[in-house]
Amino acid sequence: MAKNLLAVEPGIWRRISKAGVVSRFLTITYQLKGQTKFERTGTSSVVDARKLRAIRLAATATGSPLPCGLVVNVLLDRVLAYYVANNLPSLRTVHGHVAQLRAAIGPMKVKDLSPERIEAMQDAWQAITGRHAITNATINKRCEILRRAFNLAKQKGTIAQAPYIRRLKPRPIQARYIQGADQALLSEYLPDYVVVLVEFARLFGVRKGQLSRTLKTMADLGRAMVSWPGDEAKNEQPHPMPLDGPGLEIVDRQLAMNPWCPYLFHGRYCRPGRTPNKHYGCVGDFKKAWQTACRKAGMPVGRKAGGIVFHHTRNTAVTDMLSGPTPMTPHDAMAISNHKTLSMLKTYNLGNVEALRARLAASRVDRTQHVETFHDAAKKA
């Protein structure tokens, strides 16, 4: 065995530098294709090194891929399988992120994927401009999938350590309150079935996908409620939501429409025997119709351009629920909008600007009166 190795136990060693310094990191050895393979573990724990060596020995016996030949695509396949097996609601977007990661680094060997190479990939994405520009938030989501792929491999002992993946500072989310005049203007150019969806979403702040997939069986007029099961909500928790006057009228009207359709909200092509959209039910994806309506209304198109998007109905509903003459408590608003945390609810709340303006005006009046009283007292003195 090489002179620059110090035996710890059979198959586990510490390297010795030319200066005689013993490394704190352990190295394991095993036979691969008739040759002795040396692998630096990245750990100083003998127990962890022993486990990793056992995994390597099992892999060589079964012919499984080792890190020396393991490519990133294999890790991405495994993370996709993880999302499918657990039926995670974000599977659709994960497919898109994985596709971009495959195009950028998929064929690379895992051992060659350094933090510098990952940063170069992030920089290349940031350099894209125009309509295909990628935000830092999207880049972070892609890299979070890569991070999870490495962590899953590390948990199974396929790799000893995961590379550092930097997180970029995301730009502030372009939240927006939909004014009544803007909603009315958009409604002139939107299809009627989208107008109904916007009206309901503006009242309750339900996410587009969840709202579009609402079945008639989820609505209960007797109790004035709509109840979504956990597999239809983003946080995987059941979402029971009470209805008030305007919302109840919409649900009542929708239940009476198109008796052949199981969905509460209907799309342009609703008819017997039609296969619904997997993500948006009978309504379907109306992204192009929304963009067309914005152009005809003379509004910017897309969030990046400062325009109105459907998700802004969520900002609007939360802001309305937490303002007004009798505002809801934050916890009540969370029960309606199905936000998971108070901090996220706070992000969506744009504040009662009119009430703030009234308090500002009142404070100025009080300050003016205080100054006048001070001057009057000074004159008398």
pLDDT in tens, 64-78: 666 566 889 989 999
Q: Sign (positive/negative) of CA torsion 367, 373, 377, 379? A: positive
Round to whole Å and give the CA distance between 334 and 290: 27
Predicted pLDDT at 354: 64
Percent of the chain's residues with pLDDT above 90: 52
Among 260, 283, 264, 286, residue whose Cα is nearest residue 273: 260
pLDDT at 134 over 60: yes
Query: Cα separations (Å) of 156 from 53, 107, 151, 161, 345?
Result: 13, 21, 9, 11, 37
Q: What is the pTM of this model?
A: 0.67
- Domain positions in the chain: 5-62, 72-155, 180-350, 357-381
- Identify the top-confidence range among 86-90, 294-298, 359-363: 294-298
Round to whole Å and give the CA distance between 314 and 154: 38
> Structurally, what CATH architecture does the domain formed by 180-350 represent?
Orthogonal Bundle (1.10)
Predicted pLDDT at 176: 87
Predicted pLDDT at 355: 63
Q: Which stretch of 90-99, 190-199, 367-376 has the lowest confidence by average pLDDT?
A: 367-376
pLDDT at 198 over 90: yes
Among 37, 28, 32, residue whose Cα is nearest residue 59: 32
pLDDT bin (cut points 50, 70, 90) of residue 252 is very high
Task: Report DSSP state, residue 329.
Answer: P
Question: Looking at the DSSP assignment, which residues form a beta bridge with residue 27?
Answer: 13, 40
Question: Looking at the DSSP assignment, which residues form a beta bridge with residue 277?
Answer: 281
Round to whole Å and give the CA distance between 170 and 136: 5
377: Cα separation from own chain's centroid: 61
| Residue 363 neighbours by CB distance under 10 Å | 10
Predicted pLDDT at 325: 75
Tokens read off for 364: 């100025």
Contact predicate 209/311, CB 8 Å: no
Q: How much is the mean pLDDT over the chain?
A: 87
Residues 6+ apart with CB under 8 A from 239: 210, 227, 228, 230, 232, 233, 338
pLDDT in tens, 7-48: 999 999 998 888 888 988 888 888 887 888 888 776 788 888
pLDDT in tens, 38-60: 887 767 888 888 888 887 888 77
